Amino acid sequence: MDLLESIRNSFSDSYQEARNRFLNAAKAKQIDVQSYINPNIGSLKEQLSCDTAWMGPRSAKHVLVIISGTHGVEGFCGSGCQIDWMSRTNVADLPNDVGLLFIHAINPFGFSWCRRVTEEGCDLNRNYLDFSKPLPLNEGHDELVDYFVPSSLDAQTMEKAEIEISRYREAHGEKAFQRARKSGQYKHPHSMFFGGFEATWSRNTLESIIKDYELTQLDFVAIVDFHTGLGPFGYGEPISGHLPNTPGSDWVNHAYGESVGVPELGTSSSIPLHGTSRELWDQKLENKYSYIALEYGTYSQEQSRKALREDHWLHNKGDVNWDDPDVQRIKRQIKHHYHPGSKDWLEMVLYRSRQILRQATEALSAEQIGK
């Protein structure tokens, strides 16, 4: 099967189509699916669920965990890559003692409604903190919050917002501005990159998956979490989820090579963030795991900022009528930013996905052989 045919068979235009494709791919491989039903309804009135599937021997002690939809709308990319890899993989060809765990649409609400956030309005990858402890401060976001997501999108309000943002950038520099915008904030539920006041449904579901599949009992877990929106168009950057000079960092560098980006070293398209899933994986698996976010580039960060602004403004108003032309425009805009969907972009995405997942499987096999 050539790359374009694989694209046609793997990528979807809606959450509902993506879920159906995933379930059908699992059925074709005769592997069981476990569904974690979300209590909300989707944009098309469909049932929402995070679905998981295990491929390979259940006794495997070295497992590749493949996650899509952490940031909702970014799930269009990750879902297609999961379905492609599941369809291409034969259980008999997996290395001894290596299994695969697919976690499809960990944030199904955001996926269906074309949002980066969960139903609680949270950025899931800022939600993995211990909420019994003092939360990180983000004074820059506090200062700019009314300009990141104004109460109105009229020309006068938008002009003032851009003037104030420009002043902040000039006074503090671009790095400080990006930290203020997206490192995570824990005061303003209506604004972007909000980490929450408590654990979200999606976070609790991931914890349930870890327990149900007994991941803490394994010898080693390699995690690949699909994301989009940062970096050059179509390029897939493996972003290390580990601090430098740690066992996880060493494993990632060995497995994925020279292209690994490290936010803490300034070698990544991402900046260091608060409340990422590293907090959870560290707690559950300690030194028995590796984590990368496979981040595909789309368009500029300025385009992202404006698309997110309009989406947050829309949902801050209350109920969203999916049939409203203005709603459709805003949703097309944010979907296009995080999932361009053109043939050239999808070809780059799928080629890189296959490469990274092959590297992870081979590294897990070497890990097993070395025991």
132-161 pLDDT, tens digit per residue, is 999 999 999 999 999 999 999 999 999 999
In sequence order, what are the residues at sequence separation of 6 or more whose Cβ sits closer than 8 angstroms to the Cβ of residue 362? 95, 255
β 47-55/33-41 pair status: antiparallel
Averaged pLDDT of the chain? 96
Asked whether 358 and 294 are in contact (CB, 8 A), the reply is no
Q: Is the Cα torsion angle 183, 189, 192, 198 positive or negative in sign?
A: positive
SS3 annotation, 243-279: CCCCHHHHHHHHHHHHHCECHHHCCCCCCCCCCCCHH
For residue 216, being part of any structural domain is answered with yes
Q: What is the pLDDT of residue 1?
A: 66
Domain assignment of residue 211, yes or no: yes
In a domain, 153, yes or no: no
159 lies in some domain: no
365 in a structural domain:
yes
Give residue 54's domain range: 3-131+198-302+334-369
CATH number at residue 117: 3.40.630.10
User: Sheet harboring 220-233: ordered strands across?
Assistant: 33-41, 47-55, 98-104, 62-67, 220-233, 289-297, 236-240
The structure tokens listed for 258 are 């020279």
| Average pLDDT value for residue range 310-334 | 94
- Please state which of the ranges 128-132, 278-282, 364-368 shows the lowest mean pLDDT: 364-368
The number of beta carbons lying within 10 Å of the beta carbon of residue 59 is 7
Q: Do 275 and 128 meet the contact criterion of CB atoms below 8 Å apart?
A: yes
Residue 319: predicted pLDDT: 86
- pLDDT (mean) for 209-231: 98
Tokens representing 120 are 């609680």
Establish if 143 belongs to a structural domain: no
Which residue has tokens 């559950």? 284
pLDDT of 84 strictly over 60 = yes
Side-chain half-sphere CA neighbours of 223 within 13 A? 28
The dihedrals phi and psi of 103, each to the nearest 5 degrees, come to -115, 100
Whether 139 maps to a domain, the answer reads no
- The mean per-residue pLDDT over the stretch 155-179 comes to 97
Tell me if 329 is assigned to some domain: no
The count of structural domains within the chain is 1
In whole angstroms, give the CA distance from residue 221 to residue 360.
Answer: 10
Asked whether the predicted pLDDT for residue 67 surpasses 70, the reply is: yes
Which helix H or strand E contains 302, and what residues bound it? helix 301-316
How many other CB atoms are found less than 10 A from the CB of residue 370? Answer: 6
Q: Are 40 and 92 in contact (CB under 8 A)?
A: no
User: Does pLDDT of 92 surpass 60?
Assistant: yes
